[in-house]
Chain A
């Protein structure tokens, strides 16, 4: 059984590397690397890491300490590259609207901070689990940032480009999967190691397919800023609406409270 899984894992490794190279080629041929430089870098890092780990495992073996250290170090680089790609997607979603974009930056940063803090508090503090813990925290923060980004876009009625949506979706789903995988492997570390790697590869392959489909055509550069209103419009209008909404809510609250008292 384990031998079969290991064989399948090796095959998936090769498939993912080929799919990654194919996506890189597609990014180059369609010149989409100019539109998505951070995302291209992230895919490049993934391919480079896969190839380098192949040689590392051949040299030192899969279970050696050296391989373990190199493996986690490259994972750190990969997560940072993914975070950069996510920032790029966020910018493409919202940077046309400078007011909202400035607000979103603060909200998303705060969101990432809170999630990292939460991830730090919600775990057992053991040194041997430190790296998976940090990895999981970063993945959860990435997933949370993308979800908040989508919620933000929905709240303000913005319609991001289809490709940006697909890229963000792939990044988010893969990060969610890694959080689950890290959590399970944290609990059943030794028994789960082989399956953990395999499931991770399958999830990444699914994301690669989604991204390849999304990037099958050339994309245009981010649009120019929208024609903006004079600042005074917002400054005079927003507080007025809010005051009226507050009044409405206060009175609705009175109705609600009076009913509660009556019943």
Chain B
């Protein structure tokens, strides 16, 4: 088989895969469009449960259980903690996505956008998605201690707090963006 054949068939395969992905329905999540005021109003985000999650993942609990509980109980607790950790990782991802969705809504409704900002956000999103996925795999394969997740929680928590400050600073303008995103959606021409 010639190189040309491989290169062009490969290119078309990649294009068709990209087309299929672009046309597929995005996963349903509670998002900005379904509740435009959510970003400004939500006082309770997943990151706000950090202390409880931290407690659930604390290494001290493991040590305590290893001394006091049977092996079966330890296994069950470990499995439940893993489920909590994975659910929490998903929830963090949702928070992250909501922030991104807000940024995209603003970009879409802006008369001008800066190429550098848009590409930077695309890169950062890809990086975050990749790292989240890596942490998920490591959790599932037992390569990462559950406590490690609290590090990531700190990050998102910090991000949310700072973003909340930024949102307050922007206040009215951000609310206009959310309202416009919502009105586009109601007219059936807006975001998915």
Chain B residues lying within 8 Å of A238, measured Cβ to Cβ, are 103, 106-107, 113-114, 117-118, 121
Instruction: Judge whether B108 and A99 touch: CB under 8 Å.
Output: yes
Instruction: Judge whether B120 and A234 touch: CB under 8 Å.
Output: no
Q: How many residues of A contact B (CB 8 A)?
A: 68
Does chain B have a CB within 8 A of A144?
Answer: yes
Does chain A have a CB within 8 A of B66?
Answer: no
Instruction: Judge whether B110 and A229 touch: CB under 8 Å.
Output: yes
User: Which of the listed residues A118, A240, A252 has the most CB atoms from chain B within 10 Å of its own CB?
Assistant: A252
Does chain B have a CB within 8 A of A191?
Answer: no
Chain B residues lying within 8 Å of A172, measured Cβ to Cβ, are 15, 19
Q: Which of B53-61, B67-75, B76-84, B184-192 contacts A (4 or more CB under 8 A)?
A: B184-192
Main secondary structure of the interface of A (DSSP, over half): helix
Instruction: Judge whether B15 and A176 touch: CB under 8 Å.
Output: yes
Does chain B have a CB within 8 A of A61?
Answer: no
Chain A stretch 217-260: residues in CB contact (< 8 A) with chain B:
223, 226-242, 244-249, 251-253, 255-256, 259
Q: How many residues of B contact A (CB 8 A)?
A: 73
Give Cα distance in the complex from A232 to B169, angstroms.
13
Does chain A have a CB within 8 A of B44?
Answer: no
Does chain A have a CB within 8 A of B91?
Answer: no
Minimum CB distance partner of B127 in chain A: A249
**How far is the CB of A138 from the nearest CB of chain B, in Å?**
13
Instruction: Judge whether A245 and B110 touch: CB under 8 Å.
Output: no
Instruction: Judge whether A245 and B124 touch: CB under 8 Å.
Output: yes
Instruction: Judge whether B19 and A233 touch: CB under 8 Å.
Output: no
**How far is the CB of B145 from the nearest CB of chain A, in Å?**
9
Instruction: Judge whether A245 and B125 touch: CB under 8 Å.
Output: yes
Does chain B have a CB within 8 A of A187?
Answer: yes
Instruction: Judge whether B8 and A140 touch: CB under 8 Å.
Output: yes
User: Which of the listed residues B5, B9, B19, B102 has the most CB atoms from chain A within 10 Å of its own CB?
Assistant: B19
* B residues apposed to A, CB below 8 Å: 2-5, 7-9, 11-12, 15-16, 18-19, 21-23, 26, 33, 99, 101-115, 117-118, 120-122, 124-125, 127-128, 131, 134-135, 138, 143-144, 148, 151-152, 154-156, 158-159, 162-163, 166, 170, 173-174, 176-177, 180, 183-184, 188-192
